[in-house]
Chains A and B, each alone.
Chain A
Amino acid sequence: MQPEMQSSELNVSVLLSVGAHPKTARSRRADQDAKALELALSLPKARVAAIHAGDAGDEALRQYLGMGLPALQVLPQPKEADVVPVLVDYLRQHPATLVLTGGKAEQGESSGMLPYLLAQELGWPVVPRVAAVESVGNGKAAVLQALPRGQRRALTVSLPCVLCIDEAAPAPRQSAFALGQRGKIEVLSAAVTTDSERADWTVQPARKRPKRLKVVKAKTAADRFKAATAKASGDGGQVIVPKTVEEGAEAILKMLKEEGVLR
């Protein structure tokens, strides 16, 4: 597939999932996916296609339509399906220059693996934690990657590519009720591949992770500001530049054992 050079029109596919509100678990537009859609809608000359692999009847999809999408394509998939093959098929049939996704889903496996698996199948590069797309053209996209504490890293990536949009991307526009009601949900026909690995899993509600207590030692506002913004000093760590994959894995394993994560 040839990426468009100096394209007059840019084909952008946004993959949208149904999110879950952190307080009530009510279904909603997923935060990162909504940011991905916002980014797509604000790209100049972009032709945006929005795709959801899942339940076409979910009312939360209307919240995406409310952002000004005239239509949304749904590849109907049951909960237990593996959505990677059907999305790969779709993207092969409907070539896109940019595929935007959120970092990870707000429900289900929420592994954050989907963009990587897609990119692997398609043979495209993938950029995680994208905060902004600065320019697209000449077979390349200039993007900004979000790093901790508001830092950004400028990257250039060859097209086509998969971009995972980070929380640091601009907030999504308000969803307008009437637009959401009037937007079309187009149900496409799609094959279903059952996730065989998943079938063996037992699923249970997540336990709340224990949190390290944060003792605020700062006495003054200036101290608190410093504590909130300063780089972590990271004592005890070391920078390893592994020669081989095995060497790197070894180092990670060693650290996990030291920390008592693995026993």
Chain B
Amino acid sequence: MITSLLSVLIFIALALAVIGAVRRARLWRQGQANPVDIIGGLLKMPRRYLVDLHHVVARDKAMSNTHVATAGGFVASAVLIVLVHLFELDSRILAWALLLTTATMFTGAIFVYRRRIDPPSRLSKGPWMRLPKSLLVFAASFFVLTLPAAGILPEGAGGWLLAVVLTAGIVWGMGEMFFGMTWGGPMKHAFAGALHLAFHRRAERFEDGVGRSTGLKAIDLTAAKLGVEKPADFKWNQLLGFDACVQCGRCEAACPAFAAGQPLNPKKLIQDMVVGLAGGTDVNYAGSPYPGKPIGEHGGNAHSPIVKGLVDAETLWSCTTCRACVEECPMMIEHVDAIVDMRRFLTLEKGATPNKGPEVLENLIATDNPGGFEPGSRMHWAADLSIPVLADVKQTEVLFWVGDGGFDMRNQRTLRSFVKLLKAAKVQFAVLAHEERDSGDVARRLGDEATFQQLAKRNIKTLSQYGFKRIVTCDPHSFHVLKNEYGELGGHYEVLHHTTYLNELVQSGALQVSKHQGGSVTYHDPCYLGRYNGEYEAPRELLRSLGIEVKEMERSGFRSRCCGGGGGAPITDIPGKQRIPDMRMDDARATGAEIVAVGCPQCTAMLEGVVEPRPEIKDIAELLVAALVEVDEPAGQKSTGQKAAVQTAEPVKMAAASKAAAAKTGEPA
């Protein structure tokens, strides 16, 4: 009796699941076309799941084991259930196998259940609180049901009562696990997540464990609409990606804007996009809200504008593009892409960049730098350094990309230190001087793709006139843009961050350094060097070569917390409860270090903006200069007290010029 009913129930559940899947797929297809390799993607999916995704999940060992048992048990059980109970294959082995898989799933589900007893705030509640019970019921019901087939219990054991209980359990279990999977229940993450892995918009991310794809994608500036206004303006596989969200809230826990009380929560943002693609309001959302914004007031559908419907503009402008959410996301969702897509619409179509945004963009258009400084003053910081200019020498080994830090008095100290190191290592280098323009980083992240492309194309044109082997820069933002975002526009270069390059020089012996003399040191990873480009080791190796044992902060390496300076966030300046750099400085203070070593002009500015008392902020180049051993210089002439960068190469021009430069750069002469 129950066996025939069972086959019918399984059949109905699977049929409903298929109908739901088709309906869901049609929701995703509301998005814009984006060709993917369907077969190839599906074939690669298991590997992406087992290797790349698991790699992220495994950062939380307990959760990873829980998920392996539960999900692995479920997938195997589902296959075996179809064989044993739908096709009724009479095989003891299969039945025993099913017993084993359901038991595994049950064990995993117990741990899921335990995690839900007192769940951390980052986890969504609501239907997610029901899921562990559904898992337990599903596993238990099928375990008991399979006992007769395995020959442990006689057919019909337990009588009517058990049959009724089991039927109820199966309906509940399959309702959650099969029907719920494609009709919007918590299990949707498995279905959408698997397809999202197969059709990911950044397939390069999955290449052999070292894959990295962090450059923003260019848009066609002649299109009928620029940027994303409505959910349906996203690419279809972006919508699919949003739908894969499992609401684990790891992004929320990593987001600096959320921690600072700014109105952004990456998890909620993704859920709002899901609301947008399916239509409705956020009233059923059961996680942390955007700080300061109550739940239930926003809604929309795939064809209505996102801003002022689903989310407020401040939410989008709070993001520092630090990629901490993307790094943490076990479902490989691309939050930053989505945010920049929506910003593009606001800037390019609405002219609605907040606060200082319009001013900065106008400056970039008119003067090629965000501060609106005279382009001719770009090299004033180096007036006394006699740095070769590419326009004169045409060819060089290393092109030193100065970046807009050249206009900033604080950063000029870093730049001068770096030049001193290059000279000490006898590197052949040159600068573009007034031919250099802003890399376009800020413009692009403020959504102004037009200005970015214009700056990029002009920079590429300039660079194409000269010969150089590699570009080295002290600015991780320029580094990232030159390395990863100019390619799409035709500029392919070997680009190094100054810490990587200096590390090469130190390791090869071209630069000789003594022991660090100052206090203890912690190191702050810049987002655009670390998470964007995977360079965590070179700065640390450099510090080690100075004899420094880095006192690591709790959030360091790929989990480093943003300084608050990326993505144009200091320009759009969305208010929160506290400032991101203050939080970061608290991290640094907790290590007890006296110096925070940095490698980015933005981080330097943001962290130095924290009120004293606080650790000193020093660029790694500055720390190196302080410990530099100048081999060629006779010991007697060594200028110890004087910091105005006296060069061994040109001692003649110094006297007059250095005073002028020192006055400009604010260094003691």
Contacts A66-B351, A67-B351; is A28 near B358 (CB within 8 Å)? no
Whether, in the assembled complex, B350 has its beta carbon less than 8 Å from a beta carbon of chain A, the answer is yes
Instruction: Give CA–CA (A229, B62) in the complex, Å.
Output: 66
- Which of B221, B226, B351, B375 has a CB less than 8 Å from the CB of A174? B351
Say yes or no: A178-B366 contact (C-beta < 8 A), given A23-B372, A24-B375: no
With A177-B448, A177-B450: A21-B351 Cβ-Cβ less than 8 Å: no
The answer to whether the Cβ of B367 comes within 8 Å of any Cβ in the partner chain is yes
Residues in B neighbouring A24, C-beta threshold 8 A:
366-367, 374-375
Number of A-B contacts (CB under 8 A): 51
- Cα A70 to Cα B256 in complex, Å, equals 41
A-contact 0/1 string along B207-239, CB 8 Å cutoff: 000000000000001100110000000000000
Q: Which of A153-212 contact B (CB under 8 A)?
A: 173-179, 181
| CB contact list, B358-409 vs A, under 8 A | 358, 361-362, 365-367, 372-375
Asked whether A26 is an interface residue with its Cβ less than 8 Å from the other chain, the reply is: yes
How far is the CB of B344 from the nearest CB of chain A, in Å?
9
Instruction: Establish whether residues B351 and A176, one from each chain, have CB atoms under 8 Å apart when the complex forms.
Output: yes
Binary interface encoding of chain B residues 146-161 relative to chain A, with 1 for a CB under 8 A from any of its CBs, else 0: 0000000000000000
Residue from A26, A28, A173, A174 whose CB has the most chain B CB atoms within 10 Å: A174
- Please give me the residue from chain A that is nearest to B377 by CB atom: A23
Minimum C-beta distance from B264 to chain A (A):
22
Q: How many residues of A contact B (CB 8 A)?
A: 16
A66 to B362, CA, bound (A): 13
**Given the complex of chains A and B, what is the CA–CA distance between A173 and B361 in angstroms?**
13
Judge whether B349 and A176 touch: CB under 8 Å.
Answer: yes
Residues from chain A with Cβ under 8 Å of B222 in the complex: 181
Q: B335-358: which residues lie under 8 A (CB-CB) from chain A?
A: 347-353, 357-358
- Enumerate chain A residues within 8 angstroms of B351, measured Cβ to Cβ: 66-68, 173-176, 179
- Cross-chain contact B349 with A178 (CB below 8 angstroms): yes
Chain B residues lying within 8 Å of A177, measured Cβ to Cβ, are 221, 226, 347-348, 448, 450-451
Contacts A177-B226, A177-B450, A178-B226 given; does A21 touch B349 at CB 8 Å: no
What residues on B are CB-neighbors of A175 within 8 Å?
A: 351
Report the minimum CB–CB distance from B133 to chain A (whole Å): 51
| A176–B361 alpha-carbon span in the complex (Å) | 11
Interface residues of A in 26-49 (CB under 8 A from B): 26, 28
- Mark out the residues of chain A between 206 and 244 whose CB falls within 8 Å of any chain B CB in the assembled complex: none
Are B358 and A21 closer than 8 Å at their CB atoms? Answer: no
The interface bits of chain B over 651-665 (1 if a CB of A lies within 8 angstroms of the residue's CB, else 0) are 000000000000000
Name the distance in Å between A30's Cβ and chain B's nearest Cβ. Answer: 12
Q: What distance in Å separates the Cβ of A38 from its nearest Cβ neighbour in chain B?
A: 12
Q: A67-B351, A174-B351, A177-B226 are in contact. Are A23 and B373 (CB under 8 A)?
A: yes
Q: What is the distance, in angstroms, from B568's C-beta to the closest C-beta of chain A?
A: 14
What chain A residues lie within 8 Å of B450 (beta carbons)? 177
Q: Return the chain A residue nearest B225 by Cβ.
A: A178
Closest Cβ–Cβ distance, residue A69 to chain B (whole Å): 12
Query: Are A21 and B348 interface neighbours, CB within 8 A?
Result: no
CA distance A26 to B365 in the complex (A): 9
Cross-chain pairs A/B with CB under 8 angstroms, 10 sampled? A21-B366, A23-B366, A23-B367, A24-B374, A26-B366, A173-B351, A177-B226, A177-B450, A178-B226, A181-B222
Given contacts A24-B366, A28-B366, 8 further A-B contacts (CB under 8 A): A23-B367, A26-B366, A174-B353, A174-B358, A177-B448, A178-B348, A181-B221, A181-B222
